[in-house]
Amino acid sequence: MQDSRKAIIIGAGVAGLAAAIRLTVQGMEVTVFEKNSYPGGKLSDFEKGGYHFDAGPSLFTQPQNIEELFALAGEPIADYFQYHTLPVSCNYFYEDGTVINAYSDIDLFEEELVLKNGELAGSLLAYLKRSKRIYTHIGNIFLNYSLHKKSTLWKARIFRAISATRWSYLFRSMHEVNKAQFKNPKTVQLFNRYATYNGSNPYKAPGMLSLIPHLEHNEGIFYPKGGMISITNALYRLALKKGVQFQFNSPVERIIRKERKVTGVVVDGKNIFAGIIVSNMDVFYTYQKLLNDQQKAKKILKQERSSSALVFYWGIKKEVAQLGLHNIFFSKEYNAEFDHLFRLKKMYHDPTVYINITSKCEKGLQAPEGKENWFVMVNAPANTGQDWETYREKYRSSIIQKLNRLLQTNIEPLIEVEEILDPIMIESKTASYMGSLYGTSSNSKMAAFLRHANFTGALNGLYFVGGSVHPGGGIPLCLKSAKIMSDIVMEDNRKMRSA
């Protein structure tokens, strides 16, 4: 029999954990079913040869999203989770030998761009001021409210917000916006990279995405003590404290529905009933596998998938002084790289390389003394059947050649531990269709509106959270998706009680 006070969460990713906490605070009895043996989804970790590696997301912004969960639950966050601000958000390396340190202090960062890239004084400050304006007027609406509810028009004052925004950000590409602001192509490339934060192409994605640098440069970059896995651990502990039940190694086989309402799920051949079902699974697989709605699943695939990634986890047996926590080694022809990722769906011979090294922040804890744990990632096309075994070898060779050249060293002999993650493995571990890290891309002006809602009008009681639905991928947006969903559930329950 269905119980309207019971909720089931499908998937214990970061959005699933946040959703469980929020619904429990609303007074629901919540159970989370997770196919893996651990919580966190992409936000997981592993150890090998004395090295600790965060397996997935490596960038931490907007800690207020996590703080809000602890405040809502009435628990002191300091007992679960600690973090600190970073003095440098990222180190950028270019083929001509230029190295840009993106200081958290905006004045210092601007001095870098003026001195090394010849930018005009004040150009960065003006850019970040506009980025903040876009985020404040538009971003807060798109990221904190459902775009699929009429009430949003009034709650968020959306028309007033749009009128306060330059049309160029709506109708020009991110690259065009950045090119109009900065004179040096290297600076343009630096700010173009923020399109990759949701797996998109800066030469196609709308200029509205230039709100993303606001999060990093105006609000700040942070390091969570213990690495990114500490986010998962904190939310999992909080959920347990509030009474959430977890069933690991328990993939959901099917969502049960009766007429126009969901009534439960099938796990290990057993029917488990609940009035609220929240899917933290990729929305494509939710329709295809759990609802057997092939027509709806096919409709979702009309939207372009986001990029994926190829990751090398390297235990490096020395400390490399030139590197910090976050490091980017740019490709020479950025446009060609994205053309390969999205149009050709092939490997590019000179990929941009990202290296994250948490041992820079916690020496001796994240890696053996005097050594470093390198999370080495390149953007990769979503999986369409490419020869990933060959790609892994070619990408590895290209990465090592680039690092040898730009760091003036020989990297390969320093690698004493190695693990690899490719798009096929990403799909297998996290049920992300085609290995796409963010569900769909934002390579169109209407992408924000085409992303699946946090609910469905076709089935009462079914809701969605996570990177494949509104407002998008990445830790901050996944946490926001849980808030949007829980607000909709609260409103739906209020209407039901008053009916």
Residue 40's nearest CA partner among 63, 14, 11 is 14
Query: What pLDDT was estimated at residue 106?
Result: 97
Query: What pLDDT was estimated at residue 217?
Result: 97
Query: What pLDDT was estimated at residue 37?
Result: 97
- Hey, how many other C-beta atoms are within 10 angstroms of the C-beta on 140? 14
Query: What pLDDT was estimated at residue 1?
Result: 37
Residue 416's nearest CA partner among 156, 117, 51, 22 is 51
Query: What pLDDT was estimated at residue 2?
Result: 44
- Hey, how many other C-beta atoms are within 10 angstroms of the C-beta on 148? 17
Query: What pLDDT was estimated at residue 95?
Result: 96
Task: Write the pLDDT tens digit of every residue in 360-411.
Answer: 999 999 999 999 999 999 999 999 999 999 999 999 999 999 999 999 999 9
Bridge partner list, 366: none
Query: What pLDDT was estimated at residue 342?
Result: 97
Query: What pLDDT was estimated at residue 326?
Result: 98
Domains belonging to the chain, first-starting first, are: 6-43+60-82+226-303+442-498 (3.50.50.60), 120-219 (no CATH)
User: pLDDT by residue for the chain (499 residues), tens digit each?
Assistant: 345 699 999 999 999 999 999 999 999 999 999 999 999 999 999 999 999 999 999 999 999 999 999 999 999 999 999 999 999 999 999 999 999 999 999 999 999 999 999 999 999 999 999 999 889 888 777 888 887 777 665 655 555 555 555 666 677 999 999 999 999 999 999 999 999 999 999 999 999 899 999 999 999 999 999 999 999 999 999 999 999 999 999 999 999 999 999 999 999 999 999 999 999 999 999 999 999 999 999 999 889 999 999 999 999 999 999 999 999 999 999 999 999 999 999 999 999 999 999 999 999 999 999 999 999 999 999 999 999 999 999 999 999 999 999 999 999 999 999 999 999 999 999 999 999 999 999 888 777 677 899 999 999 999 999 999 999 999 999 999 999 999 999 999 988 877 6
